[in-house]
Chains A and B, each alone.
Chain A
Amino acid sequence: MPSLRDALARTRNSLFGKVQALLGQADITDATWDELEALLLQADVGAATTEKLLAALKQRANNEGIVRAEKLRDALKDELRKLLLPGGAPAPYVYDKTRLLEVILVVGVNGSGKTTSIAKLGKLYQSKGRKVLLAACDTFRAAAIDQLQIWGERAGIPVIAGLPNSDPGAVAFDAIQAAFARKCDLLIVDTAGRLHTKHNLMKELEKVRNVLRRSVHEAPHQTLLVIDAANGQNAINQARGFTASVGVTGVILTKLDGTPKGGVAFAIAGELGIPIRYIGTGEKIDDIQEFDAQAFVDSLFEDGQG
């Protein structure tokens, strides 16, 4: 499994790496602030969050008498960590072992990487000794079911699927019955990609959620929103829209092996208080990791060659 550091090496080199260089051995000047702002904006942190961050940093620089740029770096790390962990560290999600079946619902806009993430997530949980079943509830997109089935075969995880264009709620129901029959303890439900602004599609998603809720106590136990790290500020709208509809409990940030920085994660965690749970770092089935805010921020600041 590639280390988080490797996965984020490009991010680091291309952008936050510059923060490192910027905040090296020197005094803080006006130019320092301008460049810091530029770097944060270019990492998709967003205008509002960047402004907040800079205001907090300036205040600290004043209060703590920071004049050297390298000291500012520690303060910035600190502030970034605080953003990722609103109200302190979120309780890590713990699976209640007395529960017969845990259900994870995976949602997101088109092309964010839901199906791939589900395969990876299934494999990750399987390697921890869980008995996993996948439900192919994306009955809309052409060949989405095939895609999940191929992944399932590769990972050795069974997939419950219906016919294309069948009711996703019905597939979800069948999958739960199958999970009980096969004595699986984890069901991961794939859903069709949908833009959070499409009312009818969001209603359909709520229906799938309701089917899960009626069949299993307190299900879905996790509702994970998949967000493409290359997305800009619209990701905040996505998080808002899906949360309003099905109550997102965590985010999977995908495609972090590219050059994007996923800076919008800071805004999502900071403004909406939704924790990032996993990151996707490649096209292979093992390219997924549990998110660790401390490590995430630290790795963003490490030297180019880690």
Chain B
Amino acid sequence: MFDSLSDKLQAIFDRLGKRGILTEQDVDAALREVRVALLEADVNFRVVKEFLARVRERAIGAEVHKSLTPGQAVVKIVHEELLKTLGEGGKLDLGGPPPRVIMLVGLQGSGKTTTAAKLALRLRSDGRKPLLVAADTYRPAAIAQLETLGKQINIPVFSEGDKTPPPQIAQHAIQKAIQGALDVVIIDTAGRLQIDEAMMREVEEIKARVKPAEVLLVADAMTGQEAVNIADAFNKRVGLTGLILTKVDGDARGGAAISMRAVTGVPIKFLSTGEKPDAFEVFHPDRLASRILGMGDVLTLIEKAQQQFDEQEAAKAAEKMLSASFDLEDFLSQMRQIKRMGPLNDLLALIPGMKDLTRQISPEMTERQFKRVEAMISSMTREERRNPGILNASRKRRIAKGSGTSVQELNQLLSQFREAQRMMKQLANNPRLRMMSGWMGARRR
């Protein structure tokens, strides 16, 4: 598989040699690769075709800016067109008289019930008072699932068992919301195939009864070519107002999002990114575009880093990284910060070109080792941390005893630390990473 489309395109243009203007042959050679990349990302075949026609028109004869290689120029055009196709993420329309109703629809197993809970949690943290409605009376235990989730996040769930028809449940739920002064009603409907006539009529009826402000299609990021037909059918029958893409935390490239957006024209509003109730993000077209093209997700990484890094510490660390006056205290605080950002592998996978490295690191090893390292460094005096050179045999024995480890392990840590020090120096010389860390540091001030 291609790791990065831009690298692959670069290789083509290296063969062709550099020229100032993109010729037809250049562009066609490049677009063949783009086509495969988009298809492998599960963008619908017809959508790819239209998309490439647009890119081709723009690219042929385009002047290559001096600072770009021809490969980068094509990637830039592709990226821009992709952004255009993906559109801006949309906000929920929750103005107007309460209660506002949000309906979640989609196929079986797309993640509606989990998404309903995540959405409710998010709305509550925005100051809303949501009510969850269990209107999936078909799947065994679907109601129990929503009730359990509601209990976990402490949000009320309205249910009437699996004997009442879902349109009635939905209607009763609104009454309930009015009585309880709840201002958002989130209806979890049963999964249904878009070609199931009876079930599609049911969802139409629910819509007619509750007049929702939002009808959101919940779709699996792993969906293939069929995404266009699914989105199109739901849109025609119930008039979608937005899309939610789920299971984005896997390695699916999520081309289905482009397909669905292209065919319905409705915005993608949220991404569901994990199993925990708060793993729910507002959609950013830029990141998904990069991901679909296999360019890594540098923006997400930077944002993640921003959320987790303590501001001052980050600025200090960035400085230290470059100045290479890096001691065991920094080593520890860095490890702590990295740990807060989530599994190291997830982070590395986000950086273009780092994917290979992730295969060499075993996360469980790092997790376990981290605890021992923390114990060892915590058992040192401040002087020892700043200047590990003073650690003699007697100091090492004391530290090993104090941290419940062994001298061998401590020696291992010290050699690891020296290695880290060496790497920091190297990092300081790597322009891409220096740019990132410098930028992260600079943003703080």
Binding site for B on A (CB under 8 A): 10, 38, 41-44, 46-48, 109-113, 140-144, 146-147, 149-151, 154, 164, 195-200, 203, 228, 230-235, 237-238, 255, 257-261, 263-264, 283
Whether B224 pairs with A258 at a CB distance below 8 angstroms is: no
Q: How far is the CA of A197 from the CA of B350 in the complex (A)?
A: 13
Q: How close is A154's CB to chain B, nearest CB, in angstroms?
A: 8
Q: How close is A155's CB to chain B, nearest CB, in angstroms?
A: 11
Q: How close is A61's CB to chain B, nearest CB, in angstroms?
A: 23
Q: Interface code B222-264, partner A: CB below 8 Å = 1, 0 otherwise?
A: 1111100110000000000000001101111101100000000
Known contacts A113-B109, A197-B251, A230-B223: A146-B229 contact under CB 8 Å: no
Whether B364 pairs with A200 at a CB distance below 8 angstroms is: yes
Whether B193 pairs with A258 at a CB distance below 8 angstroms is: yes
Pick from A48, A112, A197: contact of B249, CB under 8 Å: A197
Known contacts A47-B40, A199-B364: A234-B250 contact under CB 8 Å: yes
Q: How far is the CA of A48 from the CA of B41 in the complex (A)?
A: 12
Q: B93 near A: Cβ within 8 Å?
A: no
Q: How close is B70's CB to chain A, nearest CB, in angstroms?
A: 24
Whether B142 pairs with A143 at a CB distance below 8 angstroms is: yes
Whether B247 pairs with A195 at a CB distance below 8 angstroms is: yes
Pick from B142, B220, B345: contact of A230, CB under 8 Å: B220
Please, which residues of chain B bring their CB within 8 A of the CB of A38?
45
Q: Interface code B127-166, partner A: CB below 8 Å = 1, 0 otherwise?
A: 0000000000011111011111100100000000000000
Whether A10 pairs with B148 at a CB distance below 8 angstroms is: no
Closest residue on chain A to residue B233 by CB atoms: A259
Binding site for A on B (CB under 8 A): 35-36, 39-42, 44-46, 107-111, 138-142, 144-149, 152, 193-195, 220-226, 229-230, 246-247, 249-253, 255-256, 275, 343, 345, 363-364
Please, which residues of chain A bring their CB within 8 A of the CB of B41?
233
Pick from A146, A200, A203, A264: contact of B224, CB under 8 Å: A264
Whether B251 pairs with A146 at a CB distance below 8 angstroms is: no
Please, which residues of chain A bring their CB within 8 A of the CB of B226?
44, 230, 258-261
Please, which residues of chain A bring their CB within 8 A of the CB of B148?
142-143, 164
Q: How far is the CA of A7 from the CA of B47 in the complex (A)?
A: 28
Whether A231 pairs with B220 at a CB distance below 8 angstroms is: yes
Whether B110 pairs with A260 at a CB distance below 8 angstroms is: no
Whether A44 pairs with B224 at a CB distance below 8 angstroms is: yes
Known contacts A47-B40, A151-B140, A228-B109: A140-B275 contact under CB 8 Å: yes
Mostly, the A contact residues are loop
Whether A231 pairs with B141 at a CB distance below 8 angstroms is: no
Residue from A44, A46, A143, A234 having most chain B Cβ neighbours under 10 A: A234
Please, which residues of chain A bring their CB within 8 A of the CB of B222?
109, 228, 231-232, 234-235, 238
Known contacts A110-B111, A199-B363, A260-B224: A232-B139 contact under CB 8 Å: no
What are the 8 closest A-B residue pairs judged by CB atoms, nearest first?
A: A232-B224, A111-B109, A232-B42, A142-B148, A143-B145, A150-B140, A146-B141, A147-B141
Q: Given A258-B195, A260-B225, A261-B226, list of 10 further CB < 8 A pairs?
A: A42-B225, A44-B224, A109-B247, A111-B220, A142-B152, A200-B363, A232-B252, A259-B226, A259-B229, A264-B224
Q: How close is A228's CB to chain B, nearest CB, in angstroms?
A: 6
Please, which residues of chain B bring their CB within 8 A of the CB of A111?
108-111, 220, 246-247
Whether A42 pairs with B45 at a CB distance below 8 angstroms is: yes
Q: How far is the CA of A203 from the CA of B364 in the complex (A)?
A: 9
Q: Supply 21 A–B pairs (Cβ within 8 Å), ascending by A.
A: A41-B225, A42-B45, A110-B111, A110-B275, A142-B145, A142-B152, A146-B145, A147-B140, A150-B140, A195-B250, A195-B251, A230-B220, A230-B223, A230-B226, A234-B42, A234-B250, A237-B250, A255-B107, A255-B108, A259-B195, A259-B229
Residue from B152, B226, B345 having most chain A Cβ neighbours under 10 A: B226
Whether B40 pairs with A143 at a CB distance below 8 angstroms is: no
Please, which residues of chain B bring their CB within 8 A of the CB of A46?
39-40
